[in-house]
Structure 1
């Protein structure tokens, strides 16, 4: 699971947050090696977004932020910069979308909730975020990653509940908290609701060898053969809103 690898990206001609961010976090966590794409445009893009090390300060994000991308950011649990960096990241995502009533809350809630989940449940002290705006397509793709213990191991270690990765995701969608005390875990549920129902988006969650895909039209959980992610990957697509949104129906 923590094997040092060589990521050969030489033939890569297109990258997206769901691909780039897990690879970047894996490279840094395991000290793996990589070969950059031969395609000059992709090489330059990876450089400007801070691949693979990312940035971790407010000054860096202000200097490196582009008109259509928010660079790879590494958030440290105990860093004084974390809150400011996270707030700036949210602000930059909001700016690339149309200034519509309720949209800032719709962006801030899932990002904040899912980042908080990293530091509350993963048993690691860093998380990763990255976003890309596709103006001609009218949407933003965001990705949030940790290299922690994953959902199934959280249930096992905190509540002695043994479940495979697919079942663990189902439990999370039912509000089963991983906290030992009696409580409900609505962070994933409410975040998914905001993305899919309020922002007409798509929501992907990967943990271990299972993946959830959710949209307004359908929801399915897959088993990922020959793949295992130690931690959690969340990626979601937010379409540019056509009118006001109200996230509070997802928080009741």
Structure 2
């Protein structure tokens, strides 16, 4: 998740990002959505590859080693590792909405399924939603007691 917050910091002129989460304990699922009002993945990718439509630009952003070089230290690994961790390690899925594009990544058996489409609306920034299985998360120590702020 830290990569997503870094991306918000790197790619938006607004100091605003949103995080929403919902836990479904009966089905052992956690849904987290992180959104910003930045320029969006397609706009960023098109600085390097101007011919790509929004859905294909989102897919390209998740390729290992791809970077728009918006910051000199960017290596093009963050979104790739996010997808790998969510799909491989946490048995989840990942949906990205940005511009007019939406892409869902899922794992089916041993293969990655990528479902791109051009949405009916427009996302002015980027929203990344991931669903993860909570029964595969290993906790370092058990937390007892009520949740407190």
Return 5+ residue gaps in structure 2 as ranges.
140-149
Taking the TM superposition and a 5 Å limit, the aligned residue runs for 1:88-103 are none
SS at match of 1:179: coil
Q: TM-score, normalised on structure 1?
A: 0.48
Shift of 1:222: 2.0
Is structure 2 residue 134 aligned with structure 1 residue 240? yes
Alignment correspondent of 2:144: none
* 1:240 CA displacement: 1.6
| Gap change, CA 1:178 and 1:216, over 3 Å in 2 | same
Structure 1 residues 135-214: aligned runs within 5 Å: 135-156=25-46, 159=47, 161-162=49-50, 163-174=52-63, 175-180=65-70, 181=72, 184-214=75-105
Q: Higher strand proportion, which one? A: 2
TM-superposed deviation, 1:194: 0.6
- Residue aligning to 2:120: 226
CA distance in 1, matches of 2:9, 2:96: 17
Would the alpha carbon gap of residues 168 and 182 (structure 1) be closer, same or farther in structure 2, given more than 3 Å must change? farther
Q: SS at 2:121's partner residue? A: coil
Distance 2:30 2:121 in 1: 26
Paired positions, count? 133
CA distance in 1, matches of 2:31, 2:130: 6
When residues 160 and 173 of structure 1 are mapped into structure 2, their CA distance, relative to the original with a 3 A threshold, is closer
Q: For residues 21-41 of structure 1, give each alpha carbon's deviation from its aligned partner in whole angstroms, at most 9, with x where no partner exists.
A: xxxxxxxxxxxxxxxxxxxxx
Which structure shows the bigger proportion of residues in helix conformation? 1
Q: Deviations over 1:137-192 (max 9, x none)?
A: 11111000011111121234xx4531321221122122321225585311111011
Structure 1 residue ranges without an equivalent (≥5)? 1-110, 246-252
CA distance in 2, matches of 1:243, 1:124: 33
In the TM superposition, what is the alpha-carbon distance from 1:214 to its structure 2 partner?
1.3
